[in-house]
């Protein structure tokens, strides 16, 4: 993490350890850097796992490995490599993932399918097996580390370590959920964002954990965008060790199921917002709320059209109340919209309604709102009950500088 810290950064929270979860870090040397770049997390026997993975048609072999392993629903460890995405690397990339899983499984005495693997970094360079194995051996010998060390280790262009926690009462017991995440650019997920990992001591059956994570994802990770680009490696995995001792949650009707789902959704939304706050070059955190669409799906498409518009994002970066660009983004979304029913607000100020600028509209309060770091844009389509909220950031010269120099 060598770039200047994002002005939207949040301090790293105080996180508790999760019973049955032990993180370690090591330096494999995937890039020419003097930092740890391999995170190895062991999970006690009986840990359930669920995941949401990229919908990219060019996924990494790590994503394909996790997709197959998730069917079995059990996990004993997670290995995350930073500095090399190992994507678009053919048979050599697949061999590297198999070697990592086999070595970790040998260390723990479990099946290779119990090992979950993720990688992030440059696309198109095969992950060197010798470095992977040496890095794993170092991690096996390393003392347990802090959550902050583990989070820093999975970062690439991230400028601050991102994590969150929450709790819920299930079956009369307090269960804890901790999440760590990395992501700064190539953020426009169809399912999740870059790499995120959630750990809980709750007892949760794999099928219910999968359903709960999918639900949480739809209103969090799948509602953020930095630059409209979906990664080859996007993965969010959730692990439940069962150490809290509650009766295992197996169904939405179980006592405490609603509390667990709400806690998981809250955690995912916290993590998703942190990714946007670390968007490459970002200086503004932008919430876009669309109401009055024909359906929720239509509202989401319109909201993402606004959020992904370079013209909207650069206007916000320049603190320019150019609501005409919002009109443009609504119109190009391809969803039902009626010009003369459209209403737009910035912050609490209505700027356009009925296809026209509001009579007597004073731009001063909008200009003041845009000088802040947290920006709100509201759009009412005027056609139905559909609604959606997405989050994005502005587009600045910093984004260009980071990505023009990414491989050098």
pLDDT digits (tens, 9 = 90+) for 111-129: 999 999 999 988 899 999 9
CATH of the domain at 335: 3.10.20.340
Q: Does some domain include residue 262?
A: yes
Question: Does position 275 have pLDDT exceeding 60, yes or no?
Answer: yes
pLDDT at 186: 58
pLDDT at 192: 52
Question: Whose CA is closest to 161, among 3, 10, 8?
Answer: 10
pLDDT at 190: 63
Mean pLDDT of 30-55: 94
Tokens of 212: 């709960």
Q: Is 146 annotated as a binding residue?
A: no
What's the distance, CA 175 to chain centroid? Answer: 22
Local structure of 90: helix, strand or coil: helix
Q: Which domain holds residue 335?
A: 285-404
Q: 181 and 305: one domain?
A: no
pLDDT band at 99 (very low <50, low <70, confident <90, very high): very high
pLDDT at 187: 58
Q: 236 and 367: one domain?
A: no
Q: Does some domain include residue 2?
A: no
Q: Is 403 annotated as a binding residue?
A: yes
- Euclidean distance between CA atoms 355 and 338, whole angstroms: 9
- Euclidean distance between CA atoms 202 and 246, whole angstroms: 7
pLDDT at 334: 96
Q: Is 392 annotated as a binding residue?
A: no
pLDDT at 172: 95
Q: 311 and 254: one domain?
A: no
- Give the chain's mean pLDDT: 93
Q: 131 and 36: one domain?
A: yes
What's the distance, CA 287 to chain centroid? Answer: 16
Instruction: Decide which of 34 and 21 is more confident.
Output: 21
Residue found by looking up tokens 């993932």 in the block:
97
- Euclidean distance between CA atoms 166 and 263, whole angstroms: 6
pTM: 0.93
Q: Is 338 annotated as a binding residue?
A: no
pLDDT band at 55 (very low <50, low <70, confident <90, very high): confident
- 353 φ, ψ (degrees, to nearest 5): -160, 140
Number of domains in the chain: 2
Q: Does some domain include residue 6?
A: no
Q: 40 and 78: one domain?
A: yes
pLDDT at 265: 98
Q: Is 182 annotated as a binding residue?
A: yes
Q: 57 and 199: one domain?
A: yes
Q: Does some domain include residue 219?
A: yes
Q: 289 and 269: one domain?
A: no
Q: 273 and 195: one domain?
A: yes
pLDDT at 48: 98
Q: 128 and 167: one domain?
A: yes
Q: Are strands 374-380 and 285-293 parallel, antiparallel or unpaired?
A: parallel
pLDDT band at 101 (very low <50, low <70, confident <90, very high): very high
Rg, Å, the chain Cα set: 22
Q: Does some domain include residue 340?
A: yes
pLDDT at 389: 97
pLDDT at 227: 74
Q: Does some domain include residue 13?
A: no
CATH of the domain at 249: 3.60.70.12
Question: Does position 204 have pLDDT exceeding 60, yes or no?
Answer: yes
pLDDT at 405: 66
Q: 92 and 178: one domain?
A: yes
pLDDT band at 189 (very low <50, low <70, confident <90, very high): low
Helix (H) or strand (E) holding 272: helix 257-277
Which of 277, 300, 321 is the C-terminal boundary of a domain? 277
Mean pLDDT of 242-250: 98
Mean pLDDT of 293-322: 95
Q: Does some domain include residue 337?
A: yes
Percent of the chain past pLDDT 70, that is, above it, reads 94
Which of 277, 294, 316 is the C-terminal boundary of a domain? 277
- 38 φ, ψ (degrees, to nearest 5): -135, 125
Q: Does some domain include residue 7?
A: no
Local structure of 76: helix, strand or coil: strand
CA atoms within 13 A on the CB side of 387: 7
Count of C-beta atoms within a 10 Å radius of residue 287: 17
Question: Does position 384 have pLDDT exceeding 80, yes or no?
Answer: yes
Which of 277, 309, 330 is the C-terminal boundary of a domain? 277
Q: 258 and 118: one domain?
A: yes
Percent of the chain past pLDDT 90, that is, above it, reads 83
User: pLDDT for 215-239, tens place per residue?
Assistant: 999 999 999 998 766 667 788 999 9
The catalytic residue positions are: 193
Q: 126 and 261: one domain?
A: yes
Q: Is 162 annotated as a binding residue?
A: no
Mean pLDDT of 29-48: 95
């Amino acid at each position: 993490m060598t770039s200047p810290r994002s002005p939207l950064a949040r301090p790293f929270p105080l996180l508790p350890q999760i019973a049955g979860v032990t993180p370690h870090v090591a330096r494999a040397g995937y890039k020419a850097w003097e930092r740890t770049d391999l995170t190895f997390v062991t999970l006690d026997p009986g840990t359930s796992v669920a995941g949401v993975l990229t919908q990219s048609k060019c996924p990494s072999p790590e994503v394909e490995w996790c997709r197959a392993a998730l069917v079995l629903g059990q996990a004993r460890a997670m290995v995350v490599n930073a500095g090399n995405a190992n994507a678009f690397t053919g048979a050599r990339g697949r061999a590297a993932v198999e070697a990592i899983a086999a070595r970790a499984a040998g260390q723990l005495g479990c099946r290779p399918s119990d090992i979950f693997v993720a990688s992030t970094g440059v696309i198109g360079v095969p992950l060197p097996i010798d470095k992977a194995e040496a890095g794993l051996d170092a991690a096996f010998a390393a003392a347990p580390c802090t959550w902050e060390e583990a989070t820093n280790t999975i970062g690439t262009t991230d400028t601050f370590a991102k994590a969150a926690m929450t709790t819920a009462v299930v079956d009369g017991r307090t269960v804890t959920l901790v999440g760590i995440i990395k992501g700064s650019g190539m953020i426009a997920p169809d399912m999740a964002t870059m790499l995120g990992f959630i750990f809980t001591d709750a007892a949760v059956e794999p099928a219910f954990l999968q359903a709960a994570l999918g639900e949480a994802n739809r209103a969090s990770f799948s509602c953020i965008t930095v630059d409209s680009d979906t990664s080859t490696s996007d993965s969010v995995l959730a692990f439940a060790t069962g150490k809290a001792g509650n009766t295992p949650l197996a169904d939405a009707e179980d006592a405490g199921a609603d509390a667990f789902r709400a806690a998981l959704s809250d955690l995912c939304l916290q993590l998703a917002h942190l990714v946007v706050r670390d968007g490459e070059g970002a200086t503004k955190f932008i919430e876009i709320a669309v109401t009055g669409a024909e359906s929720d799906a239509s509202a989401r498409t319109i909201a993402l059209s606004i959020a992904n518009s370079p013209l909207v994002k650069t206007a916000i970066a320049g603190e320019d109340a150019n609501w005409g660009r919002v009109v443009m983004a609504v119109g190009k979304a391809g969803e039902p919209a009626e010009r003369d029913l459209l209403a737009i607000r910035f912050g609490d100020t209505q700027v356009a309604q009925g296809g026209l600028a509001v009579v007597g509209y004073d731009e001063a309060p909008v200009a003041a709102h845009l000088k802040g770091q947290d920006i709100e844009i509201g759009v009412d389509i005027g056609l139905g009950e559909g609604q959606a909220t997405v989050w994005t950031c502005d587009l600045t010269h910093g984004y260009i500088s980071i990505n023009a120099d990414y491989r050098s």
